[in-house]
Amino acid sequence: MTGPVTPTDLRTRFAAALSTLYGSEVPAYTTLVEVSQEVNADVIAAAGAEAERLGSIERVTAERHGAIRVGTPEELAQVARVFGACGMAPVGFYDLREATPPIPVVSTAFRPTDRAELATNPFRVFTSVLVVDDRRFFDASTEAELREFLGARTLFPAELLDLADRMERYGSLAAEEADRFLALATAAFELSPEPVDRAWYQRLEAISSVAADIGGVASTHINHLTPRVLDIDALYERMEARGIEMIDRIQGPPRTAAGAPDVLLRQTSFRALSEPRRFREPDGTVVDGELRVRFGEVEQRGVALTPQGRAVYDRDGVAGLPDTDDELDAADLAYYVRDDEGRLLPLVYEDFLPRSAAGIFASNLTSEGRSDTTQQASLRGAAWMRDVLGRELHDPYALYAAERSEHGAH
Ligand code: OOG
Ligand code: NI
C-alpha cells in the first residue's frame, strides 16, 4: 500500500496479521479457521441470501475476536491507544470476579461502534485487567510483589504508542508508518521466548492460572483468536470428526428452532496443546518446559436483545422469547432496523456474555485456584474503567438503540 492508511485499513490489516501470527503459534487454530470456512460455505450454499442477514460472507469470513489480558491500569490505557488507532473503542464492563470460579479480572471489549465500520471489519478484542488489590485473591505482600513485577515491564514500546496517538489525532498514517505500527503491535502480542520465573509463576498459579498468565510473565500474548461460524453445531461435529476434542458444551443460548432467529452469542472451545516455554529455576538455571494456557474458540452470532429481551433470556432462556423477527421486534425484545422494502434486518450482537466468558476462562484453567470470600473485594466498576481508559466507555445497549432510532425504527 502506498497512500495514507486509515484506521479502518489498519484494523483490517492488524486482525489479519494477528491471525497469521496465531496460526503459526497454535496450529489447531488454522484447522479451526478452515473448518469454519467450510461450514460457512455450506450454510450459504443451502440457505443463500437468508444466511447473510446477520452479516455478509465477506464480513463473517474475516471476522475475529481476540482475547488479551494485562496487569495494570497503565497497560490498559495503552491498549486503548493501540486499538483506538484501529478505530476500536471500549464497549461494556464485565466483572469476572463474580464468576464461578471467580477470576481476578475486570474486562471490556474494544470494537468498532459504527455499523458501516462493523460491516467492513468487526475485529473486537476482549481485554481483561488483573485486580491486584482484591484481598479475596491476593494478600498484601503478593499485591506488593505483583505491583513491582508489573511496574517493571514494558508491553508496548513508546514508538508504537506514538504512532497510535498520531493516527488518533490525524485520522491517517503514512504507508511506512502504518507498516511500522503493524509490525510493533503484532510483535507486542507474540509469545515471548523470555524465560519464565518458575517459582513466581507457580505461586501465582496456586491462586489463579489467569493471574499467573498475566503477572507471571514479562510480556503479554493473545490468549485466543476466534473465528465466526454460521452454524456452530455443524462446526462442533466436524471438529470432533477431525479428532479435536472440544469442551463438552456450547456456551450461551441453545440452538433455536428451525426458522427461528439466532439470538445473542453461542461459543465453544478446545484447549490448545501445551506450548514449549523456557523457565528459570530458583538456582538460576534455564530449562525447557511447557505451559498450557491458550486454546481455540469459535462463535456464532445472532440478533442483539434489548434490556427487556435480555431479562427474559436471563430468566427463562430462549424458550421465553417469541420465535419470529416480527414478534421480537413488536414486543421490543430484540433490535432491528428496516431495509428499503420495509423488511426487518437484525442488528447483530457485537458484544460478549459474562456467563459464557466465565465458562471460556474456566475451560482454560489448570485448577480452580483459591480465593477467600471472607476478605474485602476491591471496588471496580464502569466508572473506574472509564477513568483508567481516559475515554468514553460505551454502553452496548445505547449503541444498539442509537443505531435503531437512526433508521427510524421504534
Ligand atoms: C477471555 C475470556 C472471554 C469470550 O469469548 O467470552 C472471551 C480470556 O480468556 O482472556 O474471550
Ligand atoms: Ni473469546
Residue 273 has pLDDT above 80, yes or no: no
Residue 1 has pLDDT above 80, yes or no: no
User: What are the DSSP calls for 262-306, one per residue?
Assistant: PBSEEEEEEEPPPEEEEEE-TTS-EEEEEE---EEEEEEE-BPBP
Position 231 scores a pLDDT of 94
Give the three cell numbers for residue 316: 427463562
Residue-wise pLDDT for 234-247, tens only, equals 999 999 898 888 88
Distance CA 128, CA 76 (A): 8
- The domain locations on the chain are 7-406
**Closest protein CA for atom 3 of ligand 1:** 357
The whole-number average pLDDT for the span 256-270 is 89
The whole-number average pLDDT for the span 337-365 is 89
Judge whether 55 and 301 are in contact, CB under 8 Å. yes
**Closest protein CA for atom 11 of ligand 1:** 67
Distance CA 140, CA 210 (A): 19
Ligand 2 mean position to 175 CA, how many Å? 31
Give the three cell numbers for residue 185: 503491535
Give the three cell numbers for residue 288: 525447557
**Closest protein CA for atom 5 of ligand 1:** 357
The whole-number average pLDDT for the span 214-225 is 94
**Closest protein CA for atom 4 of ligand 1:** 357
**Closest protein CA for atom 7 of ligand 1:** 357
Ligand 1 mean position to 127 CA, how many Å? 8
Q: What is the pTM of this model?
A: 0.96
**Closest protein CA for atom 10 of ligand 1:** 67
Residue-wise pLDDT for 154-205, tens only, equals 999 999 999 999 999 999 999 999 999 999 999 999 998 899 999 999 999 9
Ligand 1 mean position to 353 CA, how many Å? 9
Position 51 scores a pLDDT of 87
Position 101 scores a pLDDT of 87
Best mean pLDDT range from 197-206, 271-280, 352-361: 197-206
The radius of gyration of the chain's CA atoms, rounded to the nearest angstrom, is 21
Residue 270 has pLDDT above 90, yes or no: no
Reference 357, options 280, 277, 265, 287; nearest CA is 265
Ligand 2 mean position to 170 CA, how many Å? 32
Ligand 1 pocket test, pick from 97, 360, 364 with the greatest ligand atom count within 8 Å of Cβ, gives 360
pLDDT above 70 as % of the chain: 99
State the closest ligand 1 atom to the C-alpha of 69, by its place in the atom list counted from 1.
10
356 Cβ closer than 6 Å to some ligand 1 atom: yes
Let me know if 2 is exposed, middle or buried by CB neighbors in 10 A (0-12, 13-18, 19+): exposed
**In CATH, what is the architecture of 7-406?**
Roll (3.10)
- Separation in Å, CA 230 to CA 4, 33, 93, 116: 34, 13, 27, 20
Ligand 1 pocket test, pick from 352, 353, 363, 366 with the greatest ligand atom count within 8 Å of Cβ, gives 352
The whole-number average pLDDT for the span 96-113 is 94
67 Cβ closer than 6 Å to some ligand 1 atom: yes
Residue 19 has pLDDT above 70, yes or no: yes
107 Cβ closer than 6 Å to some ligand 1 atom: no
Ligand 2 mean position to 224 CA, how many Å? 7
Judge whether 297 and 360 are in contact, CB under 8 Å. yes
